[in-house]
Amino acid sequence: MIDEFAWYLEVNKEKGIQIFINGIPLEYESRIIEKLDFIVPIADTERKVQIDFSCKYIHWKQKLNDEFSKFYFLNNTNKLKHKATTKLNRKGDQFFHSVIVKSDFFENFSFYDDGTEEEINKISLFTELGDGKIFKDLIKYLNNFLKKKRKPFLHNYASILIKSYEEEKVMPKFGNNAWDKIRKDEFETLVKELYEVEPALFVKLNTEQKKTFLHLLNLVLDSDERKNLFPILQSIVELDFDDRIELEKILRTTKLNNIVKSLKLVHDRIIAIDKLKEMVFNHDLKANERDHLQKVIEDHYWIFGEQYSLVCAAEDKFEKALKRYLYLLRGFEEKVYINHPDKLKEMDIFLVRQDFDTEKLNNVIVELKSPTTVKRLGRKEFSQVKTYMDVILSVDEFNAQTNCSWDFFLIGQDYDDSIAREIKNSQHHGEKDLAFKVDNYRIYVKRWSEVFIDVELRLKWLNSKLQIEREKMSEKSSTIGEVIETLNSSTSLQSSTVQLPSEVMR
């Protein structure tokens, strides 16, 4: 009953009209989220005067049964002369509204039926010259007003939409590394802003359609084919000129925002590498493995590649490492036991990378040697890494995945002839720095200088490519100032090791 007559009671409120049920007046104010009175001044260029329209905006909590969101036009005696749907009907959101417009301008208001659904198009020629233009200017103003009112409503709902997609597991998967976090933020921003422009894109989709559409958006975002998104979206819903302009701006600024964030990340990593080189090569600093080198690498394990998660670092023995490893892969804590004489050995760095597309696991064990401690790597250090490999080979849980690989890295200032021979003996595999390979297990020996060169080349290439992309994007956009605020803190640091629920609770 309330949803049936709420609009009617509001439109006729100044007439004192009420509806009584069992002697009690029908109360509808609880259905209103916001109510706002405002004046719309429209210039009458023919008469060289200004006409002020008294307007009342109402935002309803829910749909008013069969009544669409409408404009209601009243004369000065509060007589309803006409009503028409607003531009924001059938948009696929929950933005239910009414606008009551009062003026003596509507005293001689008349309209005709041209057979179209748009009631605004049914307005006939006005009795006075120029009245048609005044009415069109009024409607344009009101539609823009409603669009501004709708934007924060959609902005708030967009976050709810993202959360619902995560619960339905239809969102593309991203890793936990710094690069993927930027990609994930950019993708979620795109989805939210697309929803704000055109909610109809995201309604009436089943689970599989949602997943397909979101993955399509992610593919477009990762490619240089953003311009081709327009015809795709146009085929789904009809975008008007203003929406297309806004969408183009969104696609441009989200990409520019991503580029600037990535540039900051590369910049911070270049600085981190410089500091790490000081630690390794400046022997006067007396940096050791345990207190300095290992702790820096724990925070900057991107050196060995992107998309890795840190399973454990120094002082974590194999049983604890296995426990964290299984938790990362399976999502729950398990009791684990290792029966091996070397199970109390401690790995410096243990990383794992999950490739969601190919469903493969790449595990990396890193053994670091400080130049102040070990001048040249030899048989002793090489045997230490082989021991780690033996322990892992003996544990079924470490090898439960048939699609996983294990890479061991021994890193120091230099290596002796015994290791040089191992590398030479493995040359037929065609891999640089490879010293041992059997099945899906590989051992690499690298000098610190080679590690730094590889990383610097990678960062130099990324930095050059990003600078070019930023220049291309900046030529088309003046919004770079809007994203400078993202450059306030270092982005090169990475998250800590995998935390088990029992560790978090301690």
What is the pLDDT at residue 465? 57
Residue 99 — φ and ψ, nearest 5°? Answer: -130, 120
User: Roughly how many angstroms between the first and final C-alpha of the chain, as a whole number?
Assistant: 56
How is residue 498 annotated by DSSP? P
Tokens 């082989």 sit at which residue?
386
The residue length of the chain stands at 506
How is residue 54 annotated by DSSP? E
The closest alpha carbon to 60, from 3, 143, 16, 101, belongs to 3
List the chain pLDDT tens, one digit each, 506 residues: 687 888 889 999 989 888 888 888 888 888 999 999 999 999 888 788 899 999 999 999 888 887 889 999 999 999 998 888 888 876 667 789 999 999 999 887 765 444 444 444 445 445 454 678 888 899 999 998 998 898 888 888 888 889 999 999 898 887 666 667 777 887 888 888 788 777 777 877 788 888 888 887 777 666 555 555 655 565 555 556 666 666 666 555 555 555 556 667 777 777 788 888 888 888 888 877 777 887 788 777 778 776 666 676 655 678 788 888 777 777 667 777 787 888 888 888 888 876 655 567 888 888 988 888 888 999 999 999 999 999 888 888 787 666 788 999 999 999 999 999 999 999 999 999 999 999 889 999 999 999 888 888 877 766 665 555 555 544 443 443 333 343 334 444 444 554 545 554 44
How far is residue 263 from each of residues 308, 428, 463, 464, measured CA to CA in Å?
20, 39, 7, 10
Yes or no: say if 322 and 397 are a contact pair by the CB < 8 Å rule: yes
Residue 433 neighbours by CB under 8 Å, 6+ apart: 423, 444, 445, 446, 450
Beta strand 32-44 with 24-25 is: unpaired
Yes or no: say if 111 and 123 are a contact pair by the CB < 8 Å rule: yes
Kindly provide the b/e burial profile for residues 193-232, where b requires at least 16 CB atoms within 10 angstroms of the residue's own CB: bbbbbbbbbbeeeeeeebbebbeebbebbeeeebeebeee
What is the pLDDT at residue 396? 80
User: Helices H, strands E: what count in the chain?
Assistant: 13, 13
Q: How far apart are CA 149 and CA 145, in angstroms?
A: 6
Residue 122 neighbours by CB under 8 Å, 6+ apart: 84, 111, 112, 113, 114, 116
How much helix, strand and coil, in percent to the nearest 5, is found in the chain? 50, 20, 30
**Domains of the chain by start residue, with CATH:** 2-148 (no CATH), 152-260 (no CATH), 287-336+343-454 (3.40.91)
